[in-house]
Amino acid sequence: AQTVQLEGNDYFPPQSVRHEFLNDSTTTTVCSWKGTAHYYTVSVDGQVNPDAGWYYPNPSSRAEHIANHVAFWKGVQIVRDDQD
């Protein structure tokens, strides 16, 4: 999947992410120019990584190209699944 690189992060298109490993978090943060980020807790094989993914459901017009794209941090390893 083609990611969007922004501020040193790769934002993955929502259709390229395995949402069964993501659970909505109540955490939000505000970026002065992108808007409000919402977070996911990543859960894989019994391991839980709170707030390790984030996305902007309603970004500002300057960041609309990353709407609903998901970025990761906190040691999340990205694995390509060529079965799709």
Residue 18: per-residue pLDDT: 95
Distance, CA of 46 to CA of 64 (rounded, Å): 34
**Per-residue pLDDT reduced to its tens digit, 2-13:** 999 999 999 999
Structure tokens, 9: 């992060």
With bands split at pLDDT 50, 70 and 90, how would you rate the model's confidence at 81? confident
Please state whether 24 falls in left (phi above 0), alpha (psi between -120 and 50) or beta.
beta
Residue 83: per-residue pLDDT: 58
User: DSSP strand E in the chain: where?
Assistant: 4-6, 9-11, 22-31, 35-44, 47-55, 70-72
**Per-residue pLDDT reduced to its tens digit, 16-74:** 999 999 999 999 999 999 999 999 999 999 999 999 999 999 999 999 999 999 999 99
